Amino acid sequence: MSVRPPARTGDPVSAVDTPALVIDLDAFERNLDAMAAYAKAAGVRLRPHAKTHKSVDVALAQAARGAVGQCCQKVSEAEVLVDGGIGDVLVSNEVVGESKVRRLAELAARATVSVCADDVEEVRAYVAAAKGAGATISVLVEIDAGAGRCGVAAGEPAAVLARQIMDEDGLSFGGLQAYHGGAQHLRTPAERASAIASAAERVRKTLDAFDKAGISCPLVTGAGTGTFNEEACSGLWGELQAGSYCFMDADYARNQPAEGSNLPRFEHALLIATTVMSVAVPQQCVIDAGHKTAAIDSGLPVVWRGDGLTYAAANDEHGVVTLKAGATRQPSLGSRVWLVPGHIDPTVNLHYWYVGVRGGLDDGVVEAVWPVSARGCVF
Amino acid sequence: MSVRPPARTGDPVSAVDTPALVIDLDAFERNLDAMAAYAKAAGVRLRPHAKTHKSVDVALAQAARGAVGQCCQKVSEAEVLVDGGIGDVLVSNEVVGESKVRRLAELAARATVSVCADDVEEVRAYVAAAKGAGATISVLVEIDAGAGRCGVAAGEPAAVLARQIMDEDGLSFGGLQAYHGGAQHLRTPAERASAIASAAERVRKTLDAFDKAGISCPLVTGAGTGTFNEEACSGLWGELQAGSYCFMDADYARNQPAEGSNLPRFEHALLIATTVMSVAVPQQCVIDAGHKTAAIDSGLPVVWRGDGLTYAAANDEHGVVTLKAGATRQPSLGSRVWLVPGHIDPTVNLHYWYVGVRGGLDDGVVEAVWPVSARGCVF
């Protein structure tokens, strides 16, 4: 099922076929450098989340800047990363189902692999699979850090589960997974700080219960692009799992940034190149990018540097871009419209290729063409 | 970028890995048979829309039942269909951009290919590419049938464009594309009838303008799963482009069906198999299917035969399924939950494989494993 890329190295950016994901390599590298420098200065590990980029090439670029490994959500993502040369992957999720757990264990036999648990039945399945594969799987206890989705309750239930992991041959206890997904897009710094403060209470309660039970916790891992400074400054989390920072998106751009000169500011480094394909209806144009190109679960994509243009409606293959009141100049048929993705992770997942451009989106040249290695990896 | 399928032929349905698209082949074939019989009795051509199924196997099954060809929205979809053996493809869309138009013309040199236009600049580009490839491209005039997206205004502007097509060597005039996307999910039969009656007015106005201009219109093509009987009964449309009928979805299920014993009733023939992967938080369970598995642009997926269960929230890789008030039995870890897709087209586009099951979703056996041939074909 091989699909040709929308550009070749050496092409001018104007020649990139559309719609396509275009990485502004200069901005992308600044984002990677900024987060690496932040983590180093804060004394925490960085384990970027591949659910955002789904790319071996991006993961390798992060490794080159000191990332300790990658996170992902699915065993098939982990397989792609390991097959691409990434040596250490945390599946920051529970894995349930005989086939998946067997594949996880087989992967653990050839790379450093960790996974989460929030139920002893999961632990039992991990044990059986680890034995079958002759591997050791590192298992972290996931607590519900406030999102109310997965995870055991903080405190004693977490200690009970940790003990169940430690009692098993074939497993090692990797620590605590505490990720508050619901906090990432709270719009004000105060709301985010408060949400992570609550998460931190749950972590402390859990670490106290571990102490009482004589359990040593090797690591607390979590955080995302919206909140990572809160987790780092709490002194509790030793590893950050931010993903979106590498590219950013319109939803994160609606967060009010926290104050602080030491805090990295990430730039929009991934834009969607589109073409105007109809100008037949007045006061609008239609571009070749709907929600099969740009995910709309967290809002519509936003026109980049689009004076007078609003991405108003997404159909499957078409985007209706309206002219703002007072604007009269319809973009011409065949002209380029750049979009900031509404939500980067599911947008990336729709595509086969990244086109990496050096020298900016106006005059740049295609320098890199990277596959979206783990696109569509759902099991 | 080869991705293994989630099942093999001969597997019991219980062994299908998740999440996965599962076709109930018996229901699917009944849907295909019902629409083929309807079109034959109504004396109209059926040109199913591949934007729904994106599958050479489905297209071949439709061809075997008398479909005249396929529709699609993108040149890359057309290439996949032609490379899979489909001889006649209508790109029911405008194609703009040198690279795309060149590929369209190259395709027209080896299959019967038609495309739409709503601007003379598009026609000029089609001409140049047709000459370059030594091919003839059939070009239809698209009118705005009421959706206000693409398409010239009905009447004289359409006749002007048709004349511009007819005047060019390398192009043939294919007729009128009149598709009212906004009508498909109007909930009552009366609303849908009214919308298509308005579309029919626009078609009549256009055909009158063609007559005045001495232009013979070979065909009017359009319609969708929501409205096709309206177009067929008007006597104006000679070809139906319905797509979703082959599988159906939750959004179409919310349409009140029109009365009429001759009208086909389509069944849910594609379900998403998922697995419960966390039961840690009370009154809910979490399944392994979020919006990277089931598109949510037209509403959430719906639990199939799910007494007491509601698919309440979609994150990227997780679906939160809540227990209805009064229900206490949490589904067990590892158990199967079936989902009806919210919107079939963009859901299919997220996946690599269809698993076709014979004998129903309870006790059936995997009989077919089909690639989603044109998944992710955006340019």
- Per the CB < 8 Å rule, is A281 touching B151? yes
Instruction: Tell me how many residue pairs between chain A and chain B have CB atoms under 8 A apart.
Output: 194
Residue B266, CA atoms < 13 Å, CB-side half-sphere: 30
Q: Residue B275: which of A96, A279, A333 has the nearest Cβ?
A: A96
Chain B interface includes A279 (CB < 8 A) = yes
Beta-carbon neighbour count of residue A143 at 10 Å? 29
Q: Which residues contact B300 (CB under 8 A, 6 or more apart)?
A: B250, B294, B311, B312, B313, B314, B342
- Per the CB < 8 Å rule, is B96 touching A277? yes
Chain B interface includes A197 (CB < 8 A) = no
- Per the CB < 8 Å rule, is B334 touching A151? no
Q: Which residues contact A207 (CB under 8 A, 6 or more apart)?
A: A176, A217, A220, A236
Report pLDDT digits (tens) over A222-243: 999 999 999 999 999 999 999 9
Chain A interface includes B335 (CB < 8 A) = no
Question: CA nearest B355: which of B364, B367, B344, B343?
Answer: B367
Residue B260 to chain A, least CA–CA distance (Å):
31
Identity of the residue numbered B208: D
- Per the CB < 8 Å rule, is B350 touching A378? yes
Residue B29 to chain A, least CA–CA distance (Å):
26
Chain A interface includes B260 (CB < 8 A) = no
Chain B interface includes A349 (CB < 8 A) = yes
Structure ipTM? 0.97
Q: Beta strands B20-24 and B270-278: pairing type?
A: antiparallel
Mutate which of A316, A347, A372 to test chain B, going by most B C-beta atoms within 10 A? A316
Task: Please report, for residues A315, B126, B151, B157, B379, the alpha-carbon distance to residue B119 in angstroms, rounded to integers and kept in the order given.
Answer: 21, 11, 8, 10, 20
- Per the CB < 8 Å rule, is A333 touching B148? no
- From chain B, the residues in CB contact with A377 under 8 A are 3
pLDDT, residue B1, reads 44
- Per the CB < 8 Å rule, is A149 touching B2? no
Chain A interface includes B296 (CB < 8 A) = yes
Q: Residue A376: which of B150, B278, B352 has the nearest Cβ?
A: B352
Chain A interface includes B319 (CB < 8 A) = no
Phi, psi of B116 (to 5 degrees): -110, 160
- From chain A, the residues in CB contact with B76 under 8 A are 3
Give the integer Cα–Cα distance in Å for B193 and B190: 5
Question: CA nearest A297: which of B272, B354, B317?
Answer: B317
Phi, psi of A15 (to 5 degrees): -90, -5
Tokens of A219: 């690591």
Is residue A360 predicted with pLDDT exceeding 60? yes
Is residue A1 predicted with pLDDT exceeding 80? no
- From chain A, the residues in CB contact with B20 under 8 A are 379
Question: CA nearest B353: which of B124, B50, B16, B36?
Answer: B16
Phi, psi of A5 (to 5 degrees): -75, 160
Calculate mean pLDDT across residues A371-378. 97
Beta bridge partners of A313: A320
- From chain A, the residues in CB contact with B314 under 8 A are 297
- From chain A, the residues in CB contact with B144 under 8 A are 280-281
Cβ–Cβ < 8 Å for A357, A364:
yes
Burial class (CB in 10 A: 0-12, 13-18, 19+), A153: middle
Mutate which of B11, B71, B141, B379 to test chain A, going by most A C-beta atoms within 10 A? B379
Report chain A's terminal Cα–Cα distance, integer Å.
18
Identity of the residue numbered B180: H
- Per the CB < 8 Å rule, is A95 touching B149? no
Q: Which domains does chain B have, with CATH numbers?
A: 13-20+265-371 (2.40.37.20), 25-254 (3.20.20.10)
Identity of the residue numbered B62: Q
- From chain B, the residues in CB contact with A100 under 8 A are 17
Question: Looking at chain A from residue 85 to 124, which residues have their Cβ under 8 Å from any Cβ of chain B?
Answer: 93-97, 99-100, 118-119, 121-122
Cβ–Cβ < 8 Å for A273, A338:
yes
Chain B interface includes A181 (CB < 8 A) = yes
Q: Which residues contact A83 (CB under 8 A, 6 or more apart)?
A: none
Q: What is the mean pLDDT of chain A?
A: 97
Residue B13 to chain A, least CA–CA distance (Å):
14
Report pLDDT digits (tens) over A117-162: 999 999 999 999 999 999 999 999 999 999 999 999 999 999 999 9
Is residue A261 predicted with pLDDT exceeding 90? no
Chain A interface includes B160 (CB < 8 A) = no
pLDDT in tens, chain B (379 residues): 468 999 999 999 999 999 999 999 999 999 999 999 999 999 999 999 999 999 999 999 999 999 999 999 999 999 999 999 999 999 999 999 999 999 999 999 999 999 999 999 999 999 999 999 999 999 999 999 999 999 999 999 999 999 999 999 999 999 999 999 999 999 999 999 999 999 999 999 999 999 999 999 999 999 999 999 999 999 999 999 999 999 999 999 999 999 988 899 999 999 999 999 999 999 999 999 999 999 999 999 999 998 899 999 999 999 999 998 887 778 999 999 999 999 999 999 999 999 999 999 999 999 999 999 999 999 9
The whole model's pTM is what? 0.98
Report pLDDT digits (tens) over A24-54: 999 999 999 999 999 999 999 999 999 999 9
pLDDT, residue A2, reads 61
Q: Residue B351: which of A95, A278, A376 has the nearest Cβ?
A: A376
Identity of the residue numbered B52: T
DSSP letters along B158-212, please?
Answer: HHHHHHHHHTSTTEEEEEEEE--GGGTT-SSHHHHHHHHHHHHHHHHHHHHHHHH
Rg of the Cα trace of chain B? 22
> Is residue A127 helix, strand or coil?
helix
Q: Residue B320: which of A1, A149, A314 has the nearest Cβ?
A: A149
| Backbone torsion region of residue A235, taken as left when φ is above 0, otherwise alpha when ψ lies between -120 and 50, otherwise beta | left
